[in-house]
Chain A
Amino acid sequence: MDGVLHVLTAADLDAVCRPWTCVSRSFPGMVSPEQRPLAKDRAIYQGEPVAIVLARSRATAEDALERIEVAWNELPAVASLSRALDSDAPLVHPDLKSNLSWQTDIKTELADVTFAKAALVVSERLVFARKTGVPLESRGVLADYDATMGSLLVHISHQMPHQLQLHLADFLNLAPVDVRVVCNDVGGAFGIKMHVYQDEIAVCAASKLVGRPVKFIADRIESLISDVHAREHIIEARMALDDSGKILGFDVDDIQGLGAYSVFPRSSITEAMSALRAVGGPYRFDNYHASLRAVLQNKTMTGQYRSVGHPIACVMTESLIDIAARKRNEDPLELRRRNFVRADELPWVSPQGARMVDLSHERCLDKMIELIDLTALRLQIDAMRAESRIVGLGFASFLEFTATGAAGYGRAEIQVASIDTVVVTLEPSGEVRAQCSASEIGQGIQQGLTQIVADAVGVRAENVRVFLGDTAAAPHGGGAWSSRGAAITGEAAWGAGRRLREQIIATAAALLQASAAELDIRRGRIVDIASGADRIGLDEIARIATFHGYDLPDGTSPQLTASHQYGREADPFLPTNGIQASLVEIERDTGIVRLLKHWVVGDCGRVINPLLVDEQIRGGVIQGIGEALFECCRYDEHGQFTSGSLADYLLPMAVEMPDIVVGHVETPYSGSLLGAKGAGEAGTCGAAAAVLNAVNDALAPFDARVSALPVTPVSVLYALGVITDATIQ
């Protein structure tokens, strides 16, 4: 066809690209078969790339795609999570014995006895539907292999340029230093863009094979069907309490849907393990039992997505708390307060082995009560109920582990960096340039780092430029994941900035024949530390040091670049906390849930930029609301994806969203200088639980309850007994 250059299949790419397999030391024995860029002989899920057309335009390539004839032989598929482990279920991969990828069972010694003897045991079965991230900009890649240099330049919408650099070098048999990955503005990511995607590897392999630049931009249908999905779980959860209403323990059985493979490199199972680590997070309890079965399906892979696993832990914990409070006929906030891990008990190690430090559950609750004016709000709700309105108020205390340290993936033998390095330079103009191994994915970390560097050096923020997301521009580091920017990259930026400040002052002291101890940098100028008297500008020092070194005293050797590498070995998962509240009204006629208002009190340690933190929280809440009420990746029983457009995949839209009030408590992390912790995922962590509790509070007077996300109008009316047949046709 005119304009079509190549049509490639798995056999073609085998020549330049080796297959890969997800292996994690943390999940020994996990079953996840080998993957390659294009399906070979057998496609496992709808959305798996089968062939590539390289053409001069996307339109021509789509014309050519229509002329590819695949001799499909339709095989039975398993989509349903509850069916995947049945003995007669079709096998996702024919060579395997079953669809079970991995299972684990974690139990404290006295768990069984505790549940047997408890004064009260409450339980709930919770079903979580798959959702996905839907970043505004879809995934996209432009790969350019240079055969003369043996080098590969990749522009890609991705969160972890350095991580991808290692994988590309490995798969395509290149030296890592010859692979440059550039991630400029990525247009949102939410965890969706931290995985290895078959189509992206195929594009890079195709460039190496044909020796010319190759571009692929996923359209919205391709995004919805191939971006990792997340959060498909069926959970049976129990909580034991003594007769004074103190929590004794949790017992959780989790079945998690992985899709066709455990996603490379981090493994889909990380989500479930993250959830199980955070169960009961805000509360003090001694006994714990969790069992997990991670299951393969003929569906798109699931993977890490904003607040990885925590919303599941939060929904189950906070549902059980509200159920227990109702059983005990007490205020759910009192039950929470009684059981919080108190500030004076810290540090405390949870039964899951997580070290809890620098938390503020009680203060966050106090602040929330003040923020919502609880007494007045409860009267208002009574008045609305007196008018026959179906209204509910729900709370969710949350605990989220952020800014994962070295032990997280290090011990799993997965090459994911938890460190960051920042290199700062005083430019000849007196401006400061910072090169960072973090990535800007729309979360605003570029601005946060700008402020940190400016404060550390002593210059105005407008005179600092921060560069991110390019393997050629910064040493190896983590990129954007696990709300790590402020807590890890920020700490590196602070360290580098302070070092540069000392170096500049040393040069200034030599030039001014003063003692370094007498000098300071303020607003880009060297001043006398005591009087504040102006001595010289940084621009002048930079100019002399760069162009007129002979004007400096002998032996000065000015150093205008400083770097700092920071990683955290202690506290592999940095805990943060907060509480959310949601006020909802259920439309009696239609079962539709209307969101009246939402509140968040979060403690992310030191807040560096309040505007960015607040808006991150708001955006996160909206995604949590999506999880609670709207978003769902639906499949039919044959594994056919039925949510392939934004008309079918319901995103939360502005009109339906409530006002979101945000408050802060600041408990700095005691293990770092800045004291910052993760902030960007906190909104998502607790929002779905707060909304679900609000819906169930509204339904409680009718003895009705919903326990599947998203809550749909059909499920609400079914719970209310208004419609009796909720079977989807």
Chain B
Amino acid sequence: METISKAKLQQLSNEDLMEKFQAGYEQAFNELVSRFQDRLHNFLYRYTHDHQDCEDLVQETFLRVYRSRHSYERIAKFSTWMYTIALNLAKSLYKKKQRMTTVTIHKDESDPEDRPMKLEDTNILPDDSLHEKMCMDHLEKALKELNEDFREVVVLRDIQQLAYDEIAEIADLPMGTVKSRINRGRAQLQELLEEYVYPETISA
């Protein structure tokens, strides 16, 4: 089999890379991983809020892409196909976690070696970084509280910057519903942010 240079692979579209991979070029798969692993991680973090879970889900998504490569057909955009896989995995994990019982591990009083861990104080930051961190903390919190139907579509649109038709395909919704949910999700996110910044203005 003829070798393809890295430079040539980088010039190919995602769909062309997938076709090369289907034809047996493993380097094409590596290029797809390199293109999408950070984007997938960011996307999945909005669901899990746990970097370790994200890493696992990213690995699992690529593993499924690898194994199911022959079920991909070029009629779909590669990114749409892969995001659908990732979204289904994230939803399954969410359901699984909801079923799990939370176990808290307390300090074992009978063990003199068992001490609470000392954590570095990361709250002391320069003003700009602190402000940015506070904004991000509020945003993360608001996004986490957003109704899942809205969160899914605003993340795909405003964080992942996917096209509306791709989102409609991934979420399996009509285009009109996608657009309406995106606008409502954005507005609801803003209401949640206002609640954190001006809590006294929220009536009981």
Question: Do A and B truly interact?
Answer: no
